[in-house]
Amino acid sequence: MKGDKTKILVINTGSTTTKIALFENQTPVTAHKFDHDVKEIGVLNTFDDKVLFRKKLIENFLEEQSISIDEIDIFMCRGGLIKPVSSGVYKVNDQMISDLKNASKQHASNLAAVIGAHLSKGHKPVYIADPVVVDEMQDIARYAGHRLFERISIFHALNHKAVARKHAESLKKKYEDLNLIVAHMGGGISVGAHQKGRVIDVNQALDGEGPFSPERSGTLPAGDLVKKAFSGQYNLKEMQKMIVGNGGLVSYLGTNNLKDIEENLTPQKKEILQAMAYQIAKSIGEMAVVLNGQVDAILLTGGVAYSELITGYIKQKTGFIAPVYIYPGEDEMQALAYNAWLVSKGELVPKAY
């Protein structure tokens, strides 16, 4: 740490991307996004293989930029599928790494903290903030319909919270004073009801609920899914891949690349994209019910929000509920850096995991 400038390396591993950014305090110095094709990462079978693949990309980029890892003061990483926690910043420790590696549900977000720990080699602090398992759901929302099952909170908490706060700030209001519906639309899609600063209901976006996405099947007909699972045609891993990785646009069109799809649009492709937007709009309608119709705004965010075709369709379907605002991309990198900066100043105390 030189003078009052804290060098923060932010690592954000998504299902189809790896994003890194170097900040000095809150000022971005350099950033890069690695896009991963489904076929490219599909051959990586083990957790360690996935960590090493993305870690090497990061190391090569830093070397090309003449940035020494020893210069980094804080490694701030996207949080993964650890045990349910309250909103906040957590220091990465051995227990967290073990939980990420052995999580019953696996997602690319599990990789970031482990990559950060590898890069820091124990010499510099490694943190996560607002992981995907932030749980603020109201009790009534947890009922799934059978006593053996329970709805759980797994969603894009960091970007949901960051965009909601950004919108509140634009209105010169507090996030805690608003009722918002936030739809994060990326490799996975999560739609949440934000009631006065708490996400009281949200679809389990990883492997089982909500709209289909560029690579996930979302909610499937339960009876047909059970029959397919017991047909003898598929094993457990193949069924899981059908739901996450080979679902959604990948299943229908063979690719998760929305830009390529729109550049070569046909009537069939347009209908499939509209079907995805239709399901997102339906989920927004559900969350309006959760909020008793008292909705201040609907916020569309994530990489898919760059698509005017999709956002236009959603606005057409949901504009009667509340004003629709579009925040394309993610504020996750800046949000992570901001949390790290607050920790460095002593204004935010990391929680123990």
Q: What is the mean pLDDT of the chain?
A: 94
Structure tokens at 100: 């990420």
pLDDT above 80 for 4? no
Residue 90, phi then psi, degrees to nearest 5: -130, 140
CATH numbers and ranges of domains, the chain: 7-131+332-344 (3.30.420.40), 139-322 (3.30.420.40)
R_g of the chain computed on alpha carbons: 20
In the chain, alpha helices (H): 38-42, 47-64, 94-101, 111-120, 157-170, 222-229, 236-243, 248-253, 258-263, 267-290, 308-318, 332-344
| Contact yes or no for 190/156 (Cβ under 8 A) | yes
Give the range among 161-170, 173-182, 287-296 with minimum mean pLDDT: 161-170
DSSP state of 234: -
Structure tokens at 310: 């999709």
Residue 251, phi then psi, degrees to nearest 5: -65, -45
Residue 196, phi then psi, degrees to nearest 5: 50, 45
| pLDDT at residue number 206 | 86
* CA neighbours closer than 13 Å in the CB half-sphere of residue 265: 13
| pLDDT at residue number 56 | 95
pLDDT above 70 for 1? no
pLDDT above 60 for 32? yes
Please choose, from the candidates 10, 5, 4, the residue with its C-alpha nearest in 3D space to the C-alpha of residue 335. 10
Beta bridge partners of 39: none
| pLDDT at residue number 203 | 98
Residue in this structure with the two tokens 């591993």, named with its chain if needed? 13
pLDDT above 90 for 14? no
Strand 27-35's sheet: what is its strand order? 27-35, 17-24, 7-13, 74-78, 126-129, 89-91
| Contact yes or no for 197/175 (Cβ under 8 A) | yes
Q: What is the pTM of this model?
A: 0.83
Q: Which amino acid is at 204?
A: Q
| pLDDT at residue number 3 | 52
